[in-house]
Amino acid sequence: MDNRIFSIGVTILLVGIFLIFAFWPITSISARDLAEESEDGYEDYDVGEKVTVYGTITDINQLGSLIFVELDGDFIFLIDGQDDIDFSEGDLIYCEVVRSELIEGFDDMGNIGFWELEGELKSKRLVDYVFYVFTGIGIAIAAYGAAKT
């Protein structure tokens, strides 16, 4: 057994496992968690503030040049000026959205706000696969180190 190679493999394995479970919660917010904040009118977010959100597309609706994308059945954001998107219902995505103000002082409800896509939609699954491959490489290196005499 080569302890040095084995240790390197285990370290890579542990980093991969950490990335699988901790990357998304550390770097972004789930669509479901962001939707829960809608009950207080997104008070924690100022107009113009950007946040990276991830989730599964559950619905896509188009109205003229506006596309409304729903993630995890709870969170809706707007894509303006695109004819179509490359994703469909069931796809895991992440993207950056910006808090916008639609109508100020609407009746007694206060300001009505919405989230709009900033940049482009990206596949969350692809990033997850990179983490799985990284973890697999760690397993392979650890196994090689354990078997080497």
pLDDT of 54: 94
Structure tokens at 61: 């609706």
CA distance 65 to 84: 9
CA distance 36 to 73: 12
pLDDT of 1: 83
Model pTM score: 0.78
Average pLDDT over residues 133-149: 91
pLDDT tens for each residue of 86-132: 888 999 999 999 988 765 555 555 555 688 998 889 999 999 999 99
pLDDT of 104: 55
Within a 10 A sphere around the Cβ of 109, how many other Cβ atoms?
9
CA distance 44 to 32: 16
CA distance 62 to 82: 10
- Residue 41 pLDDT more than 60? yes
Strand partners, 51: 97
Phi, psi of 108 (to 5 degrees): -95, 5
Could you tell me if 138 and 6 are in contact, meaning their C-beta atoms sit under 8 angstroms apart?
no
pLDDT tens for each residue of 10-27: 999 999 999 999 999 899
pLDDT of 74: 85
pLDDT bracket for residue 46 (50, 70, 90): confident
**Whose CA is closest to 82, among 97, 63, 62, 65?**
65
pLDDT of 37: 78
pLDDT bracket for residue 134 (50, 70, 90): very high
pLDDT of 15: 95
- Residue 56 pLDDT more than 80? yes
pLDDT tens for each residue of 57-84: 999 988 888 888 999 988 888 888 777 7
The domain 3-147 is placed in CATH, from the list 3.40.50.300, 3.40.50.980, 2.40.50.140, 1.10.1530.10, at 2.40.50.140
